[in-house]
Chain A
Amino acid sequence: MNRETVMVRIPPNPEHLALLRTAVAGFAARDHFTLDQVDDLRLAVEEGAVQLLKHVAGEGLTLTVTRTDPGIEVRLSADVDSDQPVIDEESFSWVILRALADDVSIEMQQGHAAIVLAKHRLASAPAFDEDDQDEA
C-alpha cells in the first residue's frame, strides 16, 4: 500500500482554518470515506487546529494527511510555547476528538506539538484500489 501524503501549512491565524478543513475533507472524500466520516474529519481538524493555535509559537501550523492501511492519519503540528500537552485529557476538546476519530494522541517533544488523529475506512464501503486501478 502506498502511503501518499498531503501537507498544508498555514500561518498561525484562524482565518486560514478553512483551508485545512477543505484539504482534509477533499482527501478523505476521494479516498472512499463516507460523508459521515468526512464530516467527522472536518470537525476534528477544526477542533484540533483551534486548540493548537492557542499555543503556537512558530510561524506556521501544518496539516499532514497520510493514507494508511486501515484509513488515514491526520497530523496537526506546530512549534508551541510550552511542553504541556496542548489538549488536556479532561477537556471537552478531548471528548470531541475522541468521538470524531478512531484514535487520538498528543505528541509533545521539545517545543513541538502534534495532534494525531486516525480514522479507519468503513469495511462496507468499497475499497479504493479497484476504482483507482480501473481508471489508471
Chain B
Amino acid sequence: MTPQYTREDTRQLFQELRRTEDPQYREALARLHLPLVEYLAKRFKDRGEPLDDLIQVGSVGLLKAIDRFDLERGVEFSTYATPTIVGELKRYFRDKGWAVRVPRRLQELSLRLNKVVAQLTQDLGRSPTVPEIAKYAQISEDEVLEALESGQAYSTTSLDAPSGEDDDAPMRLDRLGEDDLRIDNLEYFASLAPLIEKLPERERTILYLRFFKGMTQSTIAERVGISQMHVSRLLTRILEFLREGMEGDVEY
C-alpha cells in the first residue's frame, strides 16, 4: 500500500518530529500517509456516508497514530496506523447507530425478537428455529426473517468491535492452542496472532469459544452475558476484521 520509498521518508520524518516537536513534520507525515486513509475510507463508502467525510474521520485516526507511534517498536508505520484509522472509522459508524436506514417498525421488531429468542432459548434449552419464533411472537416467518436481516444490517454499520486500542490484557496466545487443534504449527498463526491481540478481551473470548472450543452462539451468549444476536453480530465483525487485517497488512 505504502510505496517503498516512503518508508525511509517516514522514518526520517518521525525522527525529526520526535527531536524537534515541530508540527511541520507532523503535517508532512499526515500528507505522506493520506493515500492510506483514502484507501481505508473507500472500504466504508457503500454505507451511505460521503467519502470526503470518511477521509476526514480517517485522518483523525491517522493523526492519533502519528502521535502514538514508537519508532523503537520495529513495525512499519502503515501497519501500526491501519487499525487505528479503521477503528476511528468504525467508531464513527457505531456512534451513528442504525446507519443504514432501517424502518422504525423493523428496529422495534428486531429488539422485540431479541427478547423472544432469549426466552425461547431458555425454555427449549437450545437456540430456537424461525418457525418457533414466529409462532411464539405471533408473526409470520417472513417477518421474523426480515427482522433478523435488518439486525444484521445494523451490525455491519455500527461496529463497536475492534478499535485496536482496547488491548489492555494481551491474549495468552498459548491458551489458543491448548487442545483439539495444534494451532502453533499452522502457517496462518504468525500473521493472525498480532490481529487477535488487537481484539478487545470479550471479542477474543468469543472467537476462542466459537472456533477453537466449538461452543454454540447461544452457549457463548449465556456465558458472556449478551444476547445471541449480539454474539452473531460480533462474530461477523471479528471475522471481517481478521480477513481485512490479513489482506491489508504489509507484513505478508
Contacts and interface: CB of A to CB of B under 8 A. Distances in A.
A2 interface: no
B188 A47 contact: no
Contacts of B232: 35, 39
B148 interface: yes
Interface in B42-60: 46
B149 A91 contact: no
B248 to A, nearest CB: 14
Interface in A44-99: 46-47, 50, 88, 90-92, 95-96, 99
Contacts of B173: none
Contact of B228 (A36, A47, A91, A131): A36
A7 interface: no
Given A22-B149, A29-B148, A99-B214, A34 B186 contact: no
Interface residues of B, number: 37
B119 interface: no
B125 to A, nearest CB: 8
A50 B228 contact: no
Contacts of A36: 126-127, 216-218, 228
B170 interface: no
Interface in B203-241: 210-212, 214, 216-218, 228, 232, 235-236, 239
A90 B243 CA distance: 16
Interface string B111-152: 000000100000010111111110000000100110011001
Contacts, number: 90
B129 A33 contact: yes
Interface residues of A, number: 33
B131 A90 contact: no
B48 to A, nearest CB: 15
B141 A29 contact: yes
A30 interface: yes
Contacts of B188: 90-92
Nearest to A92: B188
B187 interface: yes
Contacts of A95: 181, 186, 211-212
Of B144, B192, B235, most A-chain CB atoms within 10 Å: B235
Given A38-B130, A91-B188, A125-B129, A15 B145 contact: no
Interface of B: 46, 117, 124, 126-133, 141, 144-145, 148-149, 152, 181, 185-188, 192, 210-212, 214, 216-218, 228, 232, 235-236, 239, 242-243
11 contacts: A29-B145, A32-B131, A35-B130, A35-B217, A35-B218, A35-B228, A37-B127, A92-B192, A95-B181, A95-B186, A126-B132
